[in-house]
Amino acid sequence: MERVIDIIESIANEKGLALNDVKDAIKLSLAKTAKKVYGEKYEYETQIDDKKKILQLFQKVLVVPIGDERLSIDNENHICIKDAKEIDPNAEIGDELRYELPLDNLGRTAAATLQRELEYHIQRLLEQQIFEKYKNRVGKCVHGSVTSIDADENTYIEVDEIRCVLPRKNRIKGEKFKVGNVVKSVIRKVFIDKSKRITVELSRTSPKFLESLLELEVPEIKDGTVIIQKSARIPGDRAKLAVASLHPNVDAVGAVVGTKGVRINAIGKELHGENIDCMEYSPIAEIFVARALAPAIISNVKIEANKAIATLNSEQKSKAIGKSGINIRLASMLTGYEIELAEENGAKKTSETKTAIDPNALKALFKD
């Protein structure tokens, strides 16, 4: 059995596991094997002697006072101090004595049991490694081939070494996939299901998918020159995006849109024809809300707690609302404010908080 030590490094290298993790798996496997062979009532300890390159198994017994009741209840795992002194003169009450159990005495049955135990624990290590790998990639874009589609229209996609699932609810409305299609998506979450299997859930409807596609398409986002501050989507219909440049000579919106809209159009095509509005982010809430309501021209914005009251000309109201309310919904999602619209003329009559300000003053603010 000692030759098990010779294959520790080969197991670690072959499976791509940490050497110490494999050592721990082997020690745990041997301890469990000993319990099956010698009995569950005994306490065992295993260790690896790196110098001699051998695997050792010990039975542990606890040193207790003379007359301790545990001696009559469980004498296999306890020894009185008097007997312990005969074995080790330095023994004290509370110490643990160890008896080495030769591995050669375990036999073929134990070897087979050890092999099964080791395979089980190595498999758990591999699963944990995969779990951590994909957990750290949540929010990142991946691509893979469709392997199957179930009766509920959940799409199963093979990504590297694992089969992921793209639920129907996370698919853009109107999309249809076939076995063999290569599909891009973002990792939404990773969890262990009831059957203890790793499940990687994908999404094509998350704003993170839009952001990850932009990172792949726009070099300035990938290198950190342009950053995505906020994004909001109504999947397959329309999206809004707020970006900012960390370099004075780089136009954030221009970089994302690309020459003649080539970059943003490529992203829209991947998103099943989704229209993407790109704007420059502003840390000033009033300006940010006004920009988010584009293409409507906003005269004034008043922030009251979690509400933003946007004053505009009556002719701009339909643009601010958008078809079926989509524009104002996206603007609210993007900014985080509940947006209320107030017409200029009506605002002057009903509330001072909705009075329009000088348009020239507003233009000065927009130059940030």
Same domain for 297 and 246: no
Residues 161 and 257 both lie in one domain: no
Residue 136 lies in a domain: no
Whether 16 and 121 map to the same domain: the answer is: yes
Q: What's the CATH code of the domain at 51?
A: 3.30.1480.10
6 shares its domain with 126? yes
Do the Cβ atoms of 47 and 81 come closer than 8 Å? no
pLDDT at 367 over 60: no
Identity of the residue numbered 269: K
Listed range (93-97, 124-128, 320-324) with the worst mean pLDDT: 93-97
The reply to whether 253 falls in a domain is yes
Number of domains into which the chain is organized = 4
Domain match, 114 and 184 both: no
Q: Are residues 110 and 34 in the same domain?
A: yes
- 135 in a domain, yes or no? no
Residue range 296-323: mean pLDDT, rounded: 93
Does pLDDT of 67 surpass 70?
A: yes
201 and 225 share one domain: no
Best mean pLDDT range from 79-93, 185-199, 267-281, 335-349:
267-281
**Residue 13 sits in the same domain as residue 104:** yes
Residues 104 and 153 in one domain: no
Q: What are the structure tokens assigned to 95, written together? A: 């110490």
CATH code at position 160: 2.40.50.140
Last residue of a domain, one of 176, 205, 234: 205
Please tell me whether residues 288 and 363 are part of one structural domain: yes
| Residue 154 in this model has a pLDDT that exceeds 90 | yes
Cα-Cα-Cα-Cα dihedral sign, residues 11, 17, 19, 21: negative
| Pair (191, 272) in one structural domain | no
Give the integer Cα–Cα distance in Å for 66 and 163. Answer: 61
Q: Are residues 301 and 272 in the same domain?
A: no
Structural domain span for residue 65:
2-130
The DSSP-derived string for 166-205 is E-GGGS-TT----TT-EEEEEEEEEEE-TTS-EEEEEESS
Q: 317 or 10, which is more confident?
A: 317
